[in-house]
Amino acid sequence: MGQGNNFKKGLLIGFFTGGALGAALALLFAPKSGKELRKDIRDKSEEYLDEAEKYISNAKEKAVDMINEGKKRSEKLIKDAKDKSDQLMKDAERVYKDAKGKVSDSIKTGKDSMEHKKDQLKDAIKAGVDAYKESKQSGE
């Protein structure tokens, strides 16, 4: 990336330098008076300065545009990353709540089952005690 920019800068500088040199040579070899020659050189110099200023201004605008575009892209990346992390947190929270609910349901089902078995065991013991009492009373 750096080499391409250096090449472009070198090409641009060469273009301006070559243009200025060519214009100066053309002015020097044209049959004109000294006063006309100086005026032509001054005009051409101003023209090249104007071109250079336009180029620098244009380059500054492009640099500002590139910086703004870079900021926009980085802000979008940050926003996307935040949105994704928020979504991941919501998903993790939902999974946790689902798992907690299932565990609670399992515990409740287990407690209900134990209560039922406990009641069955009590009933069986009571029936056994009652049967023992009946057999003892009938045997007396």
pLDDT in tens, the chain (140 residues): 556 677 776 766 767 677 666 766 666 666 656 677 677 777 777 887 778 788 888 888 888 888 888 888 888 888 888 888 888 888 888 888 887 777 777 777 767 777 777 777 777 787 777 777 777 776 65
Element (H, E) at 15: helix 2-29
pTM recorded for the entire structure: 0.35
Cβ-Cβ contacts under 8 Å for 29 (sequence gap 6 or more): none
Is the Cβ–Cβ distance between 48 and 57 less than 8 Å? no
Is the Cβ–Cβ distance between 41 and 29 less than 8 Å? no
- Residue 37, pLDDT score: 66
What whole-number distance in Å separates Cα of residue 36 and Cα of residue 42? 10
Output the six-digit token pair for 106: 């399992």
**Beta-carbon count within 10 A of 40 CB:** 17
Is the Cβ–Cβ distance between 44 and 34 less than 8 Å? no
What whole-number distance in Å separates Cα of residue 51 and Cα of residue 12? 12
- Residue 98, pLDDT score: 81
Is the Cβ–Cβ distance between 24 and 40 less than 8 Å? no
